[in-house]
């Protein structure tokens, strides 16, 4: 009796199918379908590596908890179908199970990405899009200090920390224009009246 014995392989398929289904249910209940796992809940780090502030795309990774659970379940189910219904050899059923797992998990990934995630609009305000926007000072900006501005972007009010462009003080209620955003701080200058 080897690892590719008929009963052993079918038992393996049943165990994998069961594990995949339990794991998928756990992901559904815990809300981790997309695979965004916060490894350090205490860290509040905002790093902007790209020049334009990121591409703002959201979705699931091709290797996410969802696709892993799908692969494991599909591997077990396809293996059972190959040995039970189509009388495939044990070695042949492993090949069919692998192909079935890859194909079904790829279809789930494509389905989630293009049917559920891509059509959703985003209310995320891209940092690269703030330059040139008009805002209003809501907390006075002291000379060489930090204040706050408010503006309407993506249909909602957004508040940013702000500094005067050349270190100048700007009073509360002053209309300003954002000249650049660095490290989450908007640099602003008072709007000139024409």
For residue 179, give the CATH number of its domain: 2.40.50.140
Predicted pLDDT at 74 = 95
> Which one has a higher pLDDT value, 187 or 66?
187
- Rounded Cα distance, 148 and 29, in Å: 39
List pLDDT tens digits, range 11-33.
999 999 999 999 988 888 887 76
Residues 105 and 167 placed together within one structural domain of the fold: no
Predicted pLDDT at 59 = 61
Contact 148, 162 (CB under 8 A): yes
Predicted pLDDT at 39 = 39
* Environment class of 111 (CB within 10 Å of its CB; exposed 0-12, middle 13-18, buried 19+): exposed
Residue 110 domain-assigned (yes or no): yes
Predicted pLDDT at 103 = 96
For the ranges 53-62, 115-124, 165-174, the lowest mean pLDDT is seen at 53-62
Predicted pLDDT at 115 = 81
Residue 42 domain-assigned (yes or no): yes
Residues 87 and 148 placed together within one structural domain of the fold: no
For the ranges 67-71, 109-113, 151-155, the lowest mean pLDDT is seen at 151-155
Find the domain containing 33 and state its range: 6-117
List pLDDT tens digits, range 76-135.
999 999 998 999 998 999 999 999 999 999 998 888 888 877 666 555 667 667 888 899
Residues 96 and 23 placed together within one structural domain of the fold: yes
Residues 108 and 16 placed together within one structural domain of the fold: yes
């Amino acid at each position: 009796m080897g690892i590719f014995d008929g009963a052993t392989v079918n038992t393996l398929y049943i165990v994998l199918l069961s594990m995949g289904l339990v794991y998928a249910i756990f992901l559904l209940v815990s809300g981790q379908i997309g695979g965004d796992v916060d490894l350090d809940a205490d860290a509040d780090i905002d790093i902007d590596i790209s020049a334009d502030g990121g591409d703002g795309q959201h979705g699931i990774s091709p290797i996410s908890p969802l696709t892993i659970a799908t692969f494991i379940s599909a591997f077990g189910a396809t293996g059972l179908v190959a040995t039970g219904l189509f009388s495939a050899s044990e070695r042949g059923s492993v090949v069919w199970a692998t192909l079935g797992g890859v194909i079904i998990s790829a279809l789930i990934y494509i389905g989630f990405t293009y049917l559920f995630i891509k059509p959703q609009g985003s209310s995320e305000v891209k940092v690269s899009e703030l330059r040139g926007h008009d805002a209003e000072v809501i907390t006075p900006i002291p000379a060489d200090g930090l204040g706050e501005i408010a503006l309407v972007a993506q249909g909602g009010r957004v508040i940013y920390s702000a500094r005067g462009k050349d270190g100048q003080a700007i009073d509360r209620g002053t209309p300003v224009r954002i000249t650049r955003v660095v490290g989450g701080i908007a640099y602003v200058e008072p709007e000139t009246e024409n």
